[in-house]
Amino acid sequence: MKKEIEKPWTLYWLKKMQKEEGWANLRFKQLITNSGYPQFTMPDARIDRVDHEAFMKDEPDRLPLFIGTQFGVAPWYPLQGNGRGLKAFAVLGQSGLSGVVAGVRVYSCEKGVEELVIDFRNEENV
């Protein structure tokens, strides 16, 4: 995660989320892991680095964050076994090569079935 917001165009999705009723205060959890995350941009006020126990804990206003690229999803291991009990999580989609951000999708997961809840597209027309 970058400390400074050097590329504000990667955060148009965040402006949309802040305007959406019920989603404005959503925060994310980044797993502290040796396998790491690809480089991504996120304001420090929106994300917490946490251990595995906190990452997997169900919290309505703080979701586990995964980064999805054309090369796969990071971190990869908590997703094994249909999410290992995750009830909701977020995926930031971005190119692993160019860094272009598609947006953030929030999913619910009941009985191992993932369902898209909301899609915050990274489009400038906010």
Q: Kindly report the number of other CB atoms within 10 A of residue 78's CB atom.
A: 19
Quick check: 104 and 95 in contact, CB under 8 A?
Answer: no
Q: What percent of the chain has pLDDT over 90?
A: 39
More confident residue, 50 or 35: 50
Please count the structural domains in the chain.
Answer: 1
What is the per-residue pLDDT for 2? 47
Q: Tell me the pLDDT of the chain averaged across its residues.
A: 83
Following CA atoms 94, 76, 62, 5 in sequence, which dihedral angle do they give, to the nearest 10 degrees?
Answer: -40
Residue 125: inside a domain: no
Residue 2: inside a domain: no
Range of the domain at 12: 8-120
What is the per-residue pLDDT for 5? 55
Residue 107: inside a domain: yes
CA-derived radius of gyration, the chain: 14
What is the per-residue pLDDT for 125? 59
What is the per-residue pLDDT for 91? 93
Q: 3-class secondary structure for the chain? A: CECCCCCHHHHHHHHHHHHCCCCCCCEEEEECCCCCCCCCECCHHHEEEECHHHHHCCCCCEEEEEEEECCEEECCHHHCCHHHHCCEEEEEEECCCCCCEEEEEEEEEECCEEEEEEEEECCCCC
pLDDT tens digits along 52-100? 889 989 998 999 999 988 888 888 755 554 445 678 899 999 988 888 8
Residue 30: inside a domain: yes
Q: pTM for this one?
A: 0.82
Would you place residue 8 in the very low, low, confident or very high pLDDT band (cuts 50, 70, 90)?
low
pLDDT tens digits along 19-32? 999 999 999 999 98
Quick check: 18 and 46 in contact, CB under 8 A?
Answer: no
Residue 28: inside a domain: yes
Residue 101: inside a domain: yes
What is the per-residue pLDDT for 82? 47
| Alpha-carbon distances, residue 98 vs 22, 24, 53 (angstroms) | 32, 28, 32
